[in-house]
């Protein structure tokens, strides 16, 4: 299988679709879908190559979402995007059933913040035969920021990927399907997040495409002492730092601004 994203390719932007949770009390399900579709259309015209759709909140401290609730949030959205637009969709989930139904509904990429460690995920991913992003997380969202510890944050995460890659290969998943992501903010201190960002290049030794997701995260807010709505400049800066070290997919909220910054950064690199 040809890799969708080659490790040496120019970076592409993955736009994050905000899936406002439940309660259609406002305008109902159709208005809800309409708002989401407009958002996707805007991200595509701003230069996003992939749209990331997720129904689970994995922010630090977030509570679990049931399987049915996650399905209700993401499946109609995937179907609607597929009907209206020609863009790759990634499904941000850690649940085997959600992965399966999402791919059956047209999702092109599985994006799992738990690296296919939940029951049934390896099997479903092997059957699905799509690219898979394996993200690293230490602990679980509810408690992961309490006391993250590593011997060597880069080395420990490379060890984790080696184990997960071996588990994938044993299940019949091809190495060419895999994408790795150090998981910024998922069980890492501020310093550990920046050690990862500063050394992102080290992950290139694995020969797999790298996804980097720092957009609007606390690692920006803590340094700049600002709230999510003021993290654009910080987010774009981290995107450029990641892309300059060979990150292949940059997961962001602010597509237009990131695409512009990456164009300048990549054109500069090309003229080295």
Known catalytic residue: 251?
yes
Asked whether position 238 contacts ligand YH5 by CB under 6 A, the answer is: no
Position 183 contacts ligand YH5 (CB under 6 A): yes
Least spacing, CB of residue 270 vs ligand YH5, in Å: 26
Q: Which stretch binds ligand YH5 (CB under 6 A): 38-46, 145-153, 164-172, 183-191?
A: 183-191
Stretch that binds ligand YH5, among 35-43, 120-128, 213-221, 262-270 (CB under 6 A): 213-221
Catalytic member of 251, 256, 263, 272: 251
Return the structure tokens found at 41: 């259309």
User: What is the sign, positive or negative, of the torsion defined by CA atoms of 148, 154, 160, 161?
Assistant: positive
* 73 contributes a contact to ligand YH5 by CB under 6 A: no
* Among 33, 35, 167, 228, interactor with ligand YH5 by CB under 6 A: 228
The answer to whether 217 contacts ligand YH5 (rule: CB under 6 A) is: yes
Q: Which of 2, 217, 256, 263 is catalytic?
A: 217
Note whether 196 binds ligand YH5 by CB under 6 A.
no
Residues in the chain, how many?
Answer: 272
Beta bridge partners of residue 111, listed in sequence order: 92, 133
- Interface with ligand YH5 includes 111 (CB under 6 A)? yes
**Among all residues, which ones are annotated catalytic?**
217, 251
Per CB under 6 A, residues contacting ligand YH5 are: 58-59, 92, 111, 113, 133, 135, 181, 183-185, 211, 213, 216-218, 228, 251
């Amino acid at each position: 299988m040809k890799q969708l994203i080659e490790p040496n390719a120019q970076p592409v932007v993955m736009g994050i679709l905000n899936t406002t949770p439940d309660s259609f009390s406002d305008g109902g399900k159709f208005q809800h879908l309409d708002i989401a579709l407009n958002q996707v259309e805007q991200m595509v015209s701003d230069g996003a190559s992939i749209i990331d759709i997720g129904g689970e909140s994995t922010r630090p401290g977030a509570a679990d979402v049931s399987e049915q609730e996650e399905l209700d949030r993401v499946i109609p959205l995937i179907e609607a995007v597929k009907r209206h637009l020609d863009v790759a969709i990634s499904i941000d989930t850690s649940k085997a059933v959600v992965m399966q139904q999402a791919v059956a509904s047209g999702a092109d990429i599985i994006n799992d913040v738990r690296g296919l460690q939940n029951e049934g995920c390896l099997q479903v991913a092997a059957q699905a035969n799509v690219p898979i992003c394996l993200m690293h997380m230490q602990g679980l969202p509810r408690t992961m920021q309490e006391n993250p510890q590593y011997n060597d944050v880069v080395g420990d995460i490379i060890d984790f990927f080696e184990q997960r890659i071996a588990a994938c290969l044993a299940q019949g998943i091809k190495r060419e399907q895999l994408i790795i992501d150090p998981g910024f903010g998922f069980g890492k201190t501020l310093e550990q997040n920046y050690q990862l960002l500063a050394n992102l290049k080290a992950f290139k030794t694995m020969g797999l495409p790298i996804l980097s997701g720092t957009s609007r995260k606390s690692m920006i807010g803590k340094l700049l002492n600002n709230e999510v709505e003021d993290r654009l400049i910080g987010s774009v800066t981290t995107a450029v730092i990641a892309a300059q070290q060979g990150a292949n997919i940059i997961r962001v909220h602010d597509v237009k601004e990131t695409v512009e910054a990456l164009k300048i950064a990549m054109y500069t690199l090309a003229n080295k």
